[in-house]
Amino acid sequence: MAASQAQLDKMQLRQNYRNVWHTDLMSTIAADTPYCCFSLFCGPCVSYLLRKRALYNDMSRYTCCAGYMPCSGKCGESKCPELCLCTEVFLCFGNSVASTRFLLQDEFNIQTTQCDNCIIGFMFCLQQLACICSIVACLVGNEELSDASQALNCLADMVYCTVCACMQTQHKVEMDKRDGKFGPQPMAVPPAQQMSRFDQPYPPNVGHGQPPPYGGYPPGPPPPAAYPPPGYPAPGYQR
């Protein structure tokens, strides 16, 4: 119960993250079309490669489902992490994709946009609807209802595979950004600053307007000296 509550708290925390994905789900096909096709036809292999890359190729850091499931840390990952990861991506493909997503979100403080939430929610709702229709078709025994449920199951599977491929492409693009494959990010160079002096009545010229005339002093008589010249008696002094 405590672990489940911790996961719910972390899901709520992700809603308050400040950063966003470099590419949303609607733009992943245009962002990297070949990789999206690769993810569509070979999803488990892509999930294996992305999880390993998310761990910076350090498999000693691997935990089953990235530590987000009750079984995490209890499957002998420390002895043979590669075999455990292979088992995860083939037997629990959906969890492997979601775990890599949570891992990247928590590392880079990435929130999920409303559009992405709608797409993922639609995928889950369609799968649940297809499951309910299949159960009803089995109980009723109506052939037409059975055909409709099979068509709905095919549609749900197509949406599931497509969304998972887009999600994995989104993860790949984000790690490309992390690894600097888009080139260095432009940074503004701060302007040069000068230090002012105590004997300078105006601040130094930093590019705003023209410098004051007469070597830094305003027109008119020179300013009075702070102290009398040597040999001159101070005011009120009696010889």
Query: pTM of the entire structure?
Result: 0.70
For the residues 26-33, what does the mean pLDDT come to? 92
Q: pLDDT tier at 166 (50, 70, 90 boundaries)?
A: very high
**Rounded Cα distance, 98 and 106, in Å:** 12
Most confident range, picked from 1-5, 6-10, 123-127, 231-235: 123-127
Backbone angles phi, psi at 19, to 5 degrees: -85, 165
User: So what's the pLDDT on residue 65?
Assistant: 85
pLDDT at 206 over 70: no
188-215 CB burial, b ≥16 within 10 A, e <16: eeeeeeeeeeeeeeeeeeeeeeeeeeee
Residue 35 and residue 45 in contact, taking contact as beta carbons nearer than 8 Å: no
User: So what's the pLDDT on residue 235?
Assistant: 53
User: So what's the pLDDT on residue 214?
Assistant: 47
Mean pLDDT of the chain: 79
How many Cα neighbours within 13 Å face the side chain of 236? 0
User: So what's the pLDDT on residue 231?
Assistant: 55
How many Cα neighbours within 13 Å face the side chain of 207? 4
User: So what's the pLDDT on residue 196?
Assistant: 46
**Rg, C-alpha atoms of the chain:** 33
DSSP-based helix, strand, coil % in the chain, nearest 5:
60, 0, 40
Q: Is 121 exposed, middle or buried (0-12, 13-18, 19+ CB in 10 A)?
A: exposed
Tell me which DSSP letter residue 27 carries: G
pLDDT at 226 over 90: no
pLDDT at 138 over 90: no
